Amino acid sequence: MAGEAVRRPEGLPGRYEVLGVLGSGGMGRVLHARDGVLGREVAIKVLADHCAADDEYVRRFLTEARAAASINHPNVVQIYEFGREAGCTYLVMEYVDGVSLKRAMAASGRYSERRAAELVGEACKALGAAHERGVVHRDVKPDNMMLTVSGVFKLVDLGLAKRLADHQDQTATGRTLGTPHYISPEQILGSGVVDHRADIYSLGASLYCLATGAVPFDGTSGAHIMARHLNDALPDPRRLAPELSPDFCRVVFRAMEKDPARRHASTGELGAELEAVRAAAPAGPDHVRVEPADPTMTILQTPSGAAFCPAFAAPCPPADLDRMESALAIAIGPLARVLVGRESRHARTRPALVEALAAHIGDAAERRRFLRSCGLEESGASSASASGTASSSRSGAAPAASAALDPEIMGAVTRHLADRIGPLARVIVRREAAAGGPLSALVERLAAHVPAGGEREGFLKDAARLT
């Protein structure tokens, strides 16, 4: 849309000559302009009227713009000026003459492993500078990664507030925002602190897309896509790009762990792994044209859609994993798919996997039913495992510490928490109850997982009625 005629926004400083429109959306427009004082081209983001009329939104916009303006890095689009005049809220930034990675892929095909690792490595450097300043991007994606005409990588839209748009490309949960195809699970849940690890998840999703030409999770709506981020195991990227190395897949899987604690600790750590991948990858063209899939190629994938890299080979056949998932789902719901995918990447034997999955079931009877359905009671080791689990429940040991409290109260607490944060409540209650202590202490720990404000207060009031 560059060059499109546009009416000059009232209140925009007179030094800027508007040349056209670079883009537009629910938040407003991005204008192409010339700074008459400094003689340089700039991009100016102007908020839409409905956003500019919201004082809280404008306050956040300007606060975050101020934080982003403090970042000085060659891979980050620089912010020159921002302000609010005569109802016009605007932000002036560096004009990037180039193309986004998303558009480059549309024109030339997906990126090679070597080039994808290199580009996301550049993004790691840019985000590292932002994270050092306490700025979290929250909307990392190939659309916001650009290459200038001279080949310089630029990360755009850094740290700027976003608002729910009318289409599925944007979403907001509380005050955490992002794009459904690349959003982290903690942003979807809107609970706890969304920190730099949310950007690491989105970098992993972007890396997946750049190397395969497809998003990790797709769906019929934004809500459907987000549910898959929460509940589905990550599909093996080699379904779409069979030449990808195990090390590359390992980096993607780790960056996109649903639990932030399991991801890379920093963009520096992620960048170091990507540099090792880049150095080991064969040289070749930057882009790979997509070829038709080979119907004879075998992928390690469960019937439910949970796929695993050979680097994370499961300790039992895919059909057995699918049966475990179905049995576990009866006890804990849709999180079963996530847990089977995660635990199967760490367990070395089938009994160890079954025991790890059983530990996520808070109810002792349901846990025994699950163990029986997996055939564990039919062998000596399995029977010992089942009886050990039951005895630990009676003694108040960690696997079922919640049994030390009244089961009916625990069930009610879980329901109240699920009303605020969804199906993850069951797993969180089981985990926090394992720490022991009185019900009041458990409730306080659980409340930390609920967004601050009315929802948290509501949970505390409902839980207080149980004591």
Of the listed ranges 179-183, 312-316, 353-357, 364-368, the one predicted with least confidence: 312-316
CB 66, CB 82: distance < 8 Å: yes
- Summarised one tens digit per residue, pLDDT across range 5-30 is 577 898 999 999 999 998 877 678 89
What does DSSP say about strands 98-100 and 79-85: parallel, antiparallel, or unpaired?
Answer: unpaired
Tell me the average pLDDT across 68-81.
92
Tell me the average pLDDT across 136-149.
94
Residues 6+ apart with CB under 8 A from 97: 41, 148, 149
In this prediction, residue 401 carries a pLDDT of 38
- Summarised one tens digit per residue, pLDDT across range 92-121 is 999 999 999 999 999 999 999 999 999 999
More confident residue, 296 or 424: 424
C-alpha 205/C-alpha 352 separation (Å) is 30
Bridge partners of 287, per DSSP, are 111
Annotation marks residue 139 as catalytic: yes
Tell me the average pLDDT across 408-427.
76
pTM listed for this prediction: 0.62
In this prediction, residue 397 carries a pLDDT of 37
The runs of H, that is alpha helices, within 35-100 are 49-52, 55-69
Where does the pLDDT of residue 423 fall: very low under 50, low under 70, confident under 90, or very high at 90 and above? low
DSSP assigned state of 314: -
Where does the pLDDT of residue 361 fall: very low under 50, low under 70, confident under 90, or very high at 90 and above? confident
> What's the number of CA atoms in the CB half-sphere (13 Å) around residue 345?
22
Q: How many CB atoms lie within 10 A of CB 19?
A: 18
More confident residue, 14 or 394: 14
Instruction: Decide: helix, strand or coil at residue 127.
Output: helix
Catalytic choice (139, 199, 236, 363): 139
Residue 176 in tokens: 């955490």
Tell me the average pLDDT across 342-353.
78
Where does the pLDDT of residue 253 fall: very low under 50, low under 70, confident under 90, or very high at 90 and above? very high
Q: Which domains does the chain have, with CATH numbers?
A: 16-94 (3.30.200.20), 98-288 (1.10.510.10), 313-402 (no CATH), 405-464 (no CATH)
Q: How many CB atoms lie within 10 A of CB 443?
A: 20
Q: What percent of the chain has pLDDT over 90?
A: 41
Where does the pLDDT of residue 334 fall: very low under 50, low under 70, confident under 90, or very high at 90 and above? low
Where does the pLDDT of residue 290 fall: very low under 50, low under 70, confident under 90, or very high at 90 and above? low
More confident residue, 434 or 58: 58
Residue with tokens 């090679």: 112
More confident residue, 317 or 201: 201
**Of 223, 225, 221, 189, which is closest to residue 205 (Cα–Cα)?**
225
DSSP assigned state of 351: H
C-alpha 1/C-alpha 331 separation (Å) is 53
- Summarised one tens digit per residue, pLDDT across range 220-244 is 888 889 989 998 889 999 989 999 9
Residue 230 in tokens: 């929460």
Give the chain's mean pLDDT: 79
In this prediction, residue 71 carries a pLDDT of 92
**Of 141, 65, 68, 56, which is closest to residue 105 (Cα–Cα)?**
141
Residues 6+ apart with CB under 8 A from 118: 274, 278
C-alpha 142/C-alpha 205 separation (Å) is 9
